[in-house]
């Protein structure tokens, strides 16, 4: 005979216990899709097809096609640029130069900014969805203070990072996801911060034929086409942004309670 108490309540399992692992797995789904798309792109050989040499060889036929279907080509360019940025495919600079040649520097630069902002935002949301709470749970000490400072001045920090020409674009897209940056702050700083660089490369693309003539013979690379004046201009913009951030920090520190000088009353 069973010794089980007939009045005892049957053992039950909490459905939430099984749902938590599934939820933890699904949070990585958007990022997994992005990684899979990047792997498929490399497997299909797009890294060889989307290249500076491929663009230079077909630039005139592409421009004729764009002029015949300007609206569709513009929409396709924005969509293609957004996808490239979202999957971190290393062809953004080439696309920007191509956009300047195909659409003119102003329209090409504008389309670039729109597409890059959309793609960067998609990558940011995917990373934040997957890892957004990692830093908040594990950060401590100086890292926690840095994260807090980053959140307090997220727009200024991101604007400086966007204007810095030496930082990888994908790194700046991903880093804010770990610091609890608000979406509207991320979008605004991204949109404004990439305008100078996008316009510079689009302007380069609009005069690509003259740039090729100046570059001379030999292997053509973006490094040969980008002049030092362009680099100095971007560095100067970054320096101005850093100066603005330093001045803002200094002003806020001097305005904190208890830091104002005590006025003495006269006799």
Q: What is the pTM of this model?
A: 0.74
Identify the band that residue 99 occupies on the pLDDT scale cut at 50, 70 and 90.
Answer: very high
Tens of pLDDT along 144-167? 665 666 777 788 888 888 877 667
- Distance between CA atoms of residues 248 and 130, nearest Å: 33
Sign, Cα dihedral of 106, 107, 108, 112? positive
pLDDT, residue 26, reads: 72
Identify the band that residue 53 occupies on the pLDDT scale cut at 50, 70 and 90.
Answer: confident
pLDDT, residue 84, reads: 92
**Domain ranges, ordered by start, for the chain:** 28-253
Long-range CB contacts for residues 211-219, cutoff 8 Å, separation at least 24: 212/56
């Amino acid at each position: 005979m069973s010794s089980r108490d007939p009045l005892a309540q049957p053992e039950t399992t909490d459905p939430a216990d099984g749902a938590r692992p599934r939820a933890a797995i699904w949070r990585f789904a958007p990022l997994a899709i992005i990684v899979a798309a990047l792997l498929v792109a490399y497997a299909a050989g797009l890294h060889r097809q989307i290249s500076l040499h491929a663009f230079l060889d077909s630039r005139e036929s592409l421009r004729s096609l764009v002029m015949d279907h300007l609206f569709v080509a513009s929409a396709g360019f924005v969509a293609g640029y957004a996808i490239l940025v979202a999957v971190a495919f290393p062809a953004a600079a080439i696309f920007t130069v191509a956009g300047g040649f195909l659409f003119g520097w102003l329209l090409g630069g504008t389309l670039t900014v729109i597409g890059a902002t959309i793609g960067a935002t998609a990558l940011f949301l995917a990373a934040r969805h997957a890892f957004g709470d990692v830093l908040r749970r594990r950060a401590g000490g100086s890292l926690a203070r840095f994260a807090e400072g980053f959140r307090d001045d997220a727009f200024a920090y991101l604007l400086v990072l966007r204007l810095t020409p030496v930082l990888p674009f994908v790194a700046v897209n991903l880093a804010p996801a770990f610091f609890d940056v608000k979406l509207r702050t991320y979008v605004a700083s991204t949109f404004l911060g990439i305008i100078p660089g996008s316009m510079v490369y689009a302007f380069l693309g609009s005069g690509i034929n003259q740039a090729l003539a100046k570059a001379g013979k030999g292997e053509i690379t973006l490094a040969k086409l980008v002049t030092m004046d362009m680099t100095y201009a971007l560095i100067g913009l970054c320096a101005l942004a850093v100066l603005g951030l330093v001045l803002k920090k200094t002003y806020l520190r001097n305005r904190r309670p208890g830091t104002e000088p005590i006025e003495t009353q006269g006799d």
